[in-house]
């Protein structure tokens, strides 16, 4: 074999990695929440790896660049970069920030999403805290005075 493994064992390896990612992401699309027809999506598409300064294919296939996505979203996205995809589907970005917890920092940094993700998450964390205070639950947590 030219590459040192048969295409059969390559597929077995691919399926193993894919099921690991799907399990990790709870078998739900990180863009639209669907749990139907789930596949794997590259946050930075393989075809655009040079644009994002990733010289090796291995980086693109790193777990931190892979997410669970339904086939419908994959079709919609096609080869678009992630930011244009989010511009066209604004609701998907917030889902992605919450659900794609394992997206690597270097991926978010090269796509320009890193700061936005942190801002978004701290905003909803503060929002959650305000809810707790409004409902008087904080006193309960702090031990009622």
State which residue, 71 or 132, has the beta carbon closest to Zn ion. Answer: 71
- Of 29, 60, 66, 108, the residue at the interface with Zn ion (CB under 5 A) is 29
Asked if 40 is part of the footprint of Zn ion (rule: CB under 5 A), the reply reads no
Asked if 43 is part of the footprint of Zn ion (rule: CB under 5 A), the reply reads no
Asked if 32 is part of the footprint of Zn ion (rule: CB under 5 A), the reply reads yes
For residue 52, what are the contacts with CB-CB under 8 A and spacing of at least 6? 44, 110, 111
Smallest separation (angstroms) from Zn ion to the CB of 55: 30
At 47 the three-state DSSP class reads: helix
Helices (H), the chain: 7-24, 57-60, 71-77, 82-88, 90-99, 105-111, 114-134, 137-142
Smallest separation (angstroms) from Zn ion to the CB of 77: 9
- Of 21, 66, 68, 70, the residue at the interface with Zn ion (CB under 5 A) is 70
Asked if 100 is part of the footprint of Zn ion (rule: CB under 5 A), the reply reads no
Q: How far is CA 14 from CA 43, 92, 107, in A?
A: 17, 26, 21
The residues that touch Zn ion, with contacts defined as CB under 5 A, are 29, 31-32, 34, 70, 73
């Amino acid at each position: 074999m030219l590459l040192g493994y048969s295409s059969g064992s390559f597929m077995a390896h691919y399926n193993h990695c894919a099921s690991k990612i799907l399990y990790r992401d709870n078998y739900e699309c990180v863009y639209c929440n669907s749990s139907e027809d789930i596949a794997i999506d590259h946050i930075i598409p393989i075809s655009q790896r040079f644009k994002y300064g990733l010289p090796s294919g291995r980086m693109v296939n790193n777990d931190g660049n892979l997410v669970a996505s339904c086939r419908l979203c994959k079709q919609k996205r096609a080869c678009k970069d992630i930011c244009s995809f989010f511009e066209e589907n604004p609701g998907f970005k917030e889902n992605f920030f919450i659900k794609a917890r394992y997206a690597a920092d270097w991926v978010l940094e090269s796509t320009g999403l890193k700061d936005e993700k942190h801002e978004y998450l701290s905003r909803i964390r503060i929002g959650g805290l305000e809810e707790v205070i409004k409902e008087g639950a904080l006193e309960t947590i702090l031990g009622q005075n």
